[in-house]
Amino acid sequence: MGKASKIISQARLEDRKALLETEAKTICMEYNIPVTAFKLAQNEEEAAEYAEQLGFPVVLKIVSPQIIHKSDAGGVKVNLKTPSEVQEAYRKILKNAQAYNAEAQVVGVLVQEMAPQSTEVIIGAVKDAQFGQTLMFGLGGIFVELLKDVTFRIAPITQADAVEMITGVKAYPLLTGYRNTPPADIDALTTILLNTSRLVMDYPEIKELDLNPVMAYEKGAKTVDARIILE
Ligand code: ADP
Ligand code: MG
């Protein structure tokens, strides 16, 4: 049994619908979807040690089954440059999580590689009652949230579908390079869409999948946050 099956069965056993970021990213890795390197720390010394191993700067994030939107809970600290900054962030994150939801069970604090800033895209999947697994593509931030500038295709998708999804958003010119921003690696984004399609076709029990954001680089792309919700 692969890692994805094990993680999904375990979540089912524990009656958890929302997978942890660590679990969602481990599943992504099995499907060759690039994610930021990470390690789960249980105390602040361990967090500092993992930060040294991963290389500064790092990002720290709360890992709790009850906290799905981590930044809403003050559970994300970015651009931590020294061991003492990491330790302080660790304490703050735990404190914020406690204040946000006193009942929240904390699995640990995720220490992860900080992905350089770039154009952010969102790749997602939702299981539509009528059409089944459906993939979504859009640019991050206001493009999805405010302008609803997204494209959809019913899974499984072909390479041509994936390219159409990317080139089909109104904001596509932002991915072809503008001013000081280099063009994004469209092949890398296409591959992530195809791999996401494979993943949700293999697991019909996935109700929602969100890679939000994915940093689109001139060469390659990296998923910074992954969320998977089961039926
Ligand atoms: P959530 O969506 O649960 O609030 P995220 O993991 O998406 O939490 O983190 C919030 C924001 O912090 C992201 O949208 C991204 O801008 C930034 N961020 C998170 N992790 C990283 C990372 N590893 N590298 C760079 N930026 C990050
Ligand atoms: Mg996110």
Ligand 1 contacts CB of residue 79 (under 6 A): no
Residue range 119-230 in CATH 3.30.470.20: yes
Asked if 145 and 210 touch (Cβ cutoff 8 Å), the reply is no
Mean pLDDT of the chain: 96
Work out the average pLDDT over 97-110. Answer: 97
- Tell me what pLDDT residue 186 has: 98
How far, in Å, from the CA of 208 to the mean position of ligand 2? 14
Residue 145: pLDDT above 80?
no
Ligand 1 contacts CB of residue 121 (under 6 A): no
Taking CA atoms only, the protein residue closest to ligand 1 atom 5 is 225
Give me the residue spans of the domains in the chain: 3-113, 119-230
The domains spanning 3-113 and 119-230 adopt the same CATH topology: no
**Neighbouring residues of 85: CB distance < 8 A, sequence distance ≥ 6:** none
Q: What pTM did the predictor assign? A: 0.96
Query: Residue 212 CA: which ligand 1 atom is closest?
Result: 7
Nearest 5°: CA angle at 149, between 33 and 222? 20
Residue range 3-113 in CATH 3.30.1490.20: yes
When pLDDT is cut at 50, 70 and 90, the band that residue 179 belongs to is: confident
When pLDDT is cut at 50, 70 and 90, the band that residue 45 belongs to is: very high
Ligand 1 contacts CB of residue 54 (under 6 A): no
